[in-house]
Amino acid sequence: MIEKTFAMVKPDGVQRGLVGRIVQRFEDRGFKIIAMKMMKIPKELAERHYEEHKGKGFYEPLLSYITSGPVLCMAIEGENAIAAVRTMMGKTNPQDATPGTIRGDFSQVTGRNIVHGSDSSESAKREIKLFFNDYEIQKYEKIDEVWLFEK
C-alpha cells in the first residue's frame, strides 16, 4: 500500500553534515520525496509536534534540543512508507539500533538520535499537516516507478 509519512533530520544530523547521506538513503530505497524544507522550528510548533510527551521528564529538554538549530523536514511517499522509513531509522535508542540503520550508523545516545519519523498513519497525517501546506506537497510520477512496483 502506498503511504505518506513524515521524517525529520534533527539539529544534530544537520550540524554533523548528514542531511545528504540520509536523504540519499530514502531515495536509494525508491521512496519519493514529495515535500522538503529546512527550518528552525519555533517553540510553539515544537510544543504541538511533541504534545503527547507533555508532562514527561524529557519534554522540556526535547523542546530545547529540537528548537536549537535547523532541521530538515520531509514528506515521503512509497510502499508501506511509515513502517519502512522507521525501520530504516532504527530503534529510538541508538544502542539498540541495528548497524545499517541511520541511528545504528550515526548516533550513540537517545537524546541525539539524528532523525524523527512518524509512527502511525494518524501521526503521519498530523505531522505532515503541521509542517507543510497543501501547496508544498508535490504530486508527480518518478520515471523509475515501473521498475519499483508491480502493477
Q: For 50-69, write each residue's pLDDT tens digit.
A: 999 999 988 999 999 999 99
In a domain, 35, yes or no: yes
Which residue range forms the structural domain that includes residue 35?
2-140
In a domain, 71, yes or no: yes
In a domain, 151, yes or no: no
In a domain, 147, yes or no: no
Residue 48: which CATH number? 3.30.70.141
- At 88, the pLDDT band (50, 70, 90 cuts) reads very high
Q: Which pLDDT score, from 0 to 100, does residue 120 have?
A: 97
Catalytic residue selected from 18, 85, 116, 128: 116
- At 114, the pLDDT band (50, 70, 90 cuts) reads very high
In a domain, 145, yes or no: no
Pairing mode, strands 115-117 and 32-39: unpaired
In a domain, 98, yes or no: yes
Task: Report whether pLDDT(151) > 80.
Answer: no
Pairing mode, strands 115-117 and 71-79: unpaired
- Mean pLDDT, the chain, as a whole number? 96
Rounded distance, CA 74 to CA 128, Å?
8
Number of domains present in the structure of the chain: 1
- CA-based nearest residue to 33, from 1, 91, 69, 72: 72
Q: Which of 79-83, 114-118, 127-131, 146-150 is least confident?
A: 146-150
In a domain, 128, yes or no: yes
Catalytic site includes residue 116: yes
How many helices (H) and strands (E) the chain has is answered by 8, 4
Contacts of 103 (CB under 8 A, 6+ apart): 89, 90, 91, 92, 94, 97, 113, 114, 115
